[in-house]
Amino acid sequence: MTNDRETKKSIMGGDEREHRRLAMTLAAVLLLGAFQLGEGELKGNYSKLSGIIIPGFASTQLRAWSILDCPYSPLDFNPLDLVWLDTTKLLSAVNCWLKCMLLDPYNQTDHPECKSRPDSGLSAITELDPGYITGPLSSVWKEWVKWCIEFGIEANGIIAAPYDWRLSPSMLEERDLYFYKLKQTFETALKLRGGPSIVFAHSLGNNVFRYFLEWLKLEIAPKQYIQWLDDHIYAFFAVGAPLLGSTETVKGMLSGNTFGLPVSEGTARLMFNSFGSSLWMMPFSKYCRADAMYLKHFSGGIRKGPNTYQCEQKEFQSNYSGFSTNIINIEIPSTRGIDAYPSVSEFSQTNYSSMEYGLPTQLSFSAREISDGAFFKAIEDYDSDSKRTLHQLKKSYHDDPVLNPLTPWDRPPIKNVFCIYGVDSRTEVGYYFAPSGKPYPDNWIITDVIYEIEGSLVSRSGNQVEGNPGPASGDETVPYHSLSWCKTWLGPRVNITRAPQSEHDGSDVQVELNVEHHDEDVVPNMTRSPRVKYITYYEDSESIPGKRTAVWELDKANHRNIVRSPALMRELWLQIWHDIHADSPSKFVSKAKRGPLRDDDCYWDYGKARCAWPEYCEYRYVFGDVHLGQSCRLRNSSADALLHYV
Active-site residue list: 203, 475, 518
3-class DSSP state of 65: coil
- Asked if 602 and 611 count as a contact pair (C-beta separation under 8 A), the reply is yes
Q: What is the DSSP letter of 620?
A: -
In sequence order, the β-bridge partners of residue 540 are 549
- Cα(53)–Cα(92) distance, integer angstroms: 33
- Cα(162)–Cα(128) distance, integer angstroms: 12
| 568 alpha-carbon distance from chain centroid | 13
> Nearest to residue 279, comparing CAs of 239, 311, 238, 245?
245
> Nearest to residue 601, comparing CAs of 504, 499, 497, 498?
504
Contacts of 427 (CB under 8 A, 6+ apart): 451, 452, 453, 473, 474, 475, 476, 477, 478, 479, 480
- Asked if 434 and 330 count as a contact pair (C-beta separation under 8 A), the reply is yes
- Cα(248)–Cα(426) distance, integer angstroms: 13
- Asked if 320 and 357 count as a contact pair (C-beta separation under 8 A), the reply is no
**Sign of the C-alpha dihedral, residues 291, 297, 300, 302?**
negative
Count of alpha carbons within 13 Å of 60, Cβ hemisphere only? 27
- Cα(79)–Cα(73) distance, integer angstroms: 17
- Cα(170)–Cα(325) distance, integer angstroms: 31
Read off φ and ψ for residue 147, nearest 5 degrees. Answer: -60, -45
- Cα(349)–Cα(620) distance, integer angstroms: 74
Read off φ and ψ for residue 349, nearest 5 degrees. Answer: -65, -15
> Nearest to residue 290, comparing CAs of 310, 306, 305?
310
